[in-house]
Structure formats: structure tokens, C-alpha cells
Amino acid sequence: MANFNWLFSIKNRSYYLVILLGLLQDASTGISSVSIQYLYKDDFLLSPSDATFMDSLSSIPWIIKPIWGFISDSFPLMGYRRKSYLILFSCLQIFLWFLLMASIKNIYIGVFCLIALSLASAFINVICGNICFILVSFSKNFN
């Protein structure tokens, strides 16, 4: 059975927000996958093979996920290694969802938005995973 004592021993409550953001981001990716398939089929009028190709293009940021961890650890943005990237890519996701909604009939903007959304989602996933790993490691060192 998993030991979740580290979760309740967090002193800085802002980490709970990071954990919640990571969970919500993963849930939104799963929920939106069906609607994205309908977007390909009904709005972009793509064949099943073309829709699969577009889906595979949007999975490229997930394949190169270790690069996002390297970037966030090596190149601090505004003095922070993780917080600024988390805020930046969360805002980028919000903007891209609205852009996708506004340009629903333009396939080029739509595919660009979906690939950029996948990149932002992968980046947020890496950062939230990294923060959770640090919290667990820190908790195990002091127990």
C-alpha cells in the first residue's frame, strides 16, 4: 500500500496548488481527447488516417519530455526554475484553448493550437512531477 504521509506533512500550502494543477491538467487532457477526435472528423473533415497523423504530430512534445525537464532545470525564467514556467505554460494553455475555439474552421491554426497545447501540457506535467518528486524526497530525508 502506498504511503501518503508526505502529502500531509507539506508545510508550504502552495504546493497543494501545484499538485492540484497537475491533476487537473491530466484530467483535462483525458476529457478533451474525445472532443479533439470529433474536431478532426467533423470540423476539419479529415479522414481517419489524416486524423491519426495529426494526433501523432501532437504527441511529439510528449516523446521529447526529458528535454522540457532539462530546460526548466537549466534555464531559470525570471529567477525561478519551475514557478515561472508553470505560470507561463498554464496561461499559454488558456490562451490556446480560446484561440482554438475562435478559429474552429481553420485547420492550420487548429493543428498549431493542438500541437502547442500538447507542448504546454507536457511541460506542466514534467514540472508538477518534478515538484512532487522533490517533496517526496525531502519528506523521506526527514522521516
Residue ranges per structural domain of the chain: 14-141
Give 40-58 as a 3 state SS string. HHHHCCCCHHHHHHHHHHC
120 pLDDT above the threshold of 90: yes
Name the band, by pLDDT with cuts 50, 70 and 90, for residue 123.
very high
Q: Higher pLDDT residue, 82 or 91?
A: 91
Task: Tell me the average pLDDT of the chain.
Answer: 83
Note if the pTM is more than 0.75.
Answer: yes
Q: Give 141's pLDDT tier (boundaries 50, 70, 90).
A: low
**What are the grid coordinates assigned to 63, written together?**
516523446
